[in-house]
Structure 1
Amino acid sequence: MKLTVLGNNGPYPKPGGACSGYLFETDDKKILIDCGNGVLSRLLKICSISDIDVIILTHLHSDHISDIMVMKYAIGVNKMKGKCNVTIPLYTPTDDYEMVKRLNYNNSFNIIPIEEDTIINLDDIEITFRRMKHPIKTFAVKIRKGKKTFVYSSDTSYNESLIDFSKNADLLLCESGLLEEDREDNAPHLSAKQAGEIGKKAGVKRLILTHFWPEYNLERVKIEASQSFDSILEISQEMKTYYI
């Protein structure tokens, strides 16, 4: 299994960067998790849209979904021209009905609601979800294949549920949108220190940090997380592939 980071900024990209988007691959399956601004052009450097088996949107904030709004035309217009005939399963929270309606064009996607009991089975891959603490409905994602487990936190403030959901994961991709000095009590994002604490308490083998404020010095982010996490710790790099 492997994970390619297509974008890792939020809520807007740094110059030349992109917001949240991650391509998870096995030998024969491709799963796109989130599709923020700048993600589609990077995805197309790796594969065609029609190669994607499933798309998962963890929540409906723009920095996680904005390139879906153009991907729908890439699929829908080419359908009208007879150049493609795909309808990609797209799993998403559906509480914002007006936003969900805007996601589709000419049956580009088969939109399927995500709830906490949602399970996706793709051959020997199992995908499950856990509700996180964020201003809108947001889900962490867990992907299991064989004995390997990958967890993506999505956006969240500190919560014990993420620790439980990530227990003993081989890789936790965890948001660290803040430095501790900038975090307020009601902040909807984790600080790097909190991300490290979650990784340690969950006993994850490897922690990769993501969803960075574009103005931050990422070495400071890593140093802060390392104060509470003493196993393998990395700063995610855009267009880098990580093996699980």
Structure 2
Amino acid sequence: MKLTVVGCTGSMSGPKGAASCYLVQTETTTIVLDLGPGSMGQLMNYVDPAEIDAIFLSHLHTDHCADIIGMQVYRRWLPSGPLGPVPVYSPGDGLHRTRQIGGDGPDENYGGEFAFQTVVAGDVIEVGNLSVEFFDAVHPVPAVAMRITGPRGGVLTYSGDTDYCTGQVEAAQGADLYLCEAAFESSRDTVRDIHLTGGRAGRIAAEAGVHNLVLTHLQPWTNPDTVCAEARDEYSGPIAVAIPGGTFHVTYPTTLES
């Protein structure tokens, strides 16, 4: 199972790349986690969008789903012909949110491009040879973490946007790679129930016994060295920071390479 970081800037696109978007591939299956601003164009550097088997949105804040309209345009208006509907899984009403982003009315259901499905913690979706299980996250809107199991048993957990919660520890339990947001610095950001600090990300990783921690969703003003140092205070395993174009091969056991 291969993870490619298409975009990883927190809360917006940034000077070095797109907002949240991650490509997960096996020999036979391709899925996308989130489609933040700027991600559609960058995604085409790594995969033909026609090859995507499913789209998973961790939540419906714009920085994680805005480029679903770019995907819709591509799938509807490709000169070689429409691509047909691809499944889109999200907490909350993905169809309504897509209408909001696209500025379309209630008569537009995007049925030719997307098959929307709402998911909640406890749901499990099988796509090709990947299994995706959903867990609770803590955020101002409905949000989920995703635990993705590959065909050879490797486990990738994606936190989505969250603060510390037991759902994250459960989702990351024994994961070979925990892709975890760390948007906040503890000395600067004291508000709770929105994002993790590096320290709280490290705490989850330690409690869950993950094998590798990759910090992501850092805003342009968040210092990678700061959140890494905070994470290191809580977690003794390998730590990396996601960068656009970074790749990780998730196997058992996983070794960080980017």
Q: TM-score, normalised by structure 1?
A: 0.93
1:162-181 Cα distance to aligned partner (Å, 9 max, x none): 11221111010000010111
* Distance of 1:97 and 1:138 partners within structure 2: 16
What is residue 40 of structure 1 aligned with on the other side?
40
What is residue 134 of structure 1 aligned with on the other side?
139
Q: Which amino acid aligns with 2:169?
A: I
Is residue 29–residue 130 contact of structure 2 (8 Å, CA) maintained in 1? no
| Change in CA separation of 1:50 and 1:97 when aligned onto 2, cut-off 3 Å | closer
Alignment of 1:62-73 (within 5 A): 62-73=62-73
Is residue 159–residue 179 contact of structure 2 (8 Å, CA) maintained in 1? yes
The structural deviation recorded for 1:86 is: 2.5
Is residue 32–residue 52 contact of structure 2 (8 Å, CA) maintained in 1? yes
* Distance of 1:99 and 1:65 partners within structure 2: 9
What is residue 54 of structure 1 aligned with on the other side?
54
Where in structure 2 are there 5+ consecutive unaligned residues?
103-108, 251-258
State the secondary structure of the residue aligned to 2:149. strand
Alignment of 1:42-191 (within 5 A): 42-78=42-78, 83-95=81-93, 98-102=96-100, 105=110, 107-145=112-150, 146-191=152-197
Instruction: Identify the range of structure 1 (94-103 vs 8-17) with the bigger mean alpha-carbon deviation.
Output: 94-103
Q: Which amino acid aligns with 2:138?
A: K
* Distance of 2:71 and 2:95 partners within structure 1: 19
* Distance of 1:25 and 1:97 partners within structure 2: 25
The structural deviation recorded for 1:193 is: 0.7
The structural deviation recorded for 1:183 is: 2.5
* Distance of 1:213 and 1:151 partners within structure 2: 21
Q: Which amino acid aligns with 2:180?
A: C
State the secondary structure of the residue aligned to 1:209. strand
* Distance of 1:65 and 1:23 partners within structure 2: 14
Q: Which amino acid aligns with 1:125?
A: L
What percent identity do the matched residue pairs reach? 30
* Distance of 2:129 and 2:96 partners within structure 1: 34
Is residue 68–residue 98 contact of structure 2 (8 Å, CA) maintained in 1? no
* Distance of 2:54 and 2:184 partners within structure 1: 30
State the secondary structure of the residue aligned to 1:36. coil
Q: Which amino acid aligns with 1:93?
A: P
Is residue 172–residue 199 contact of structure 1 (8 Å, CA) maintained in 2? yes
* Distance of 2:88 and 2:165 partners within structure 1: 27
| Change in CA separation of 1:226 and 1:154 when aligned onto 2, cut-off 3 Å | same
Report how many residues are paired.
Answer: 242
Q: TM-score, normalised by structure 2?
A: 0.88
The structural deviation recorded for 1:55 is: 0.4
Where in structure 1 are there 5+ consecutive unaligned residues?
none
State the secondary structure of the residue aligned to 1:35. coil
State the secondary structure of the residue aligned to 2:34. strand
Q: Which amino acid aligns with 2:141?
A: I
The structural deviation recorded for 1:82 is: 5.2
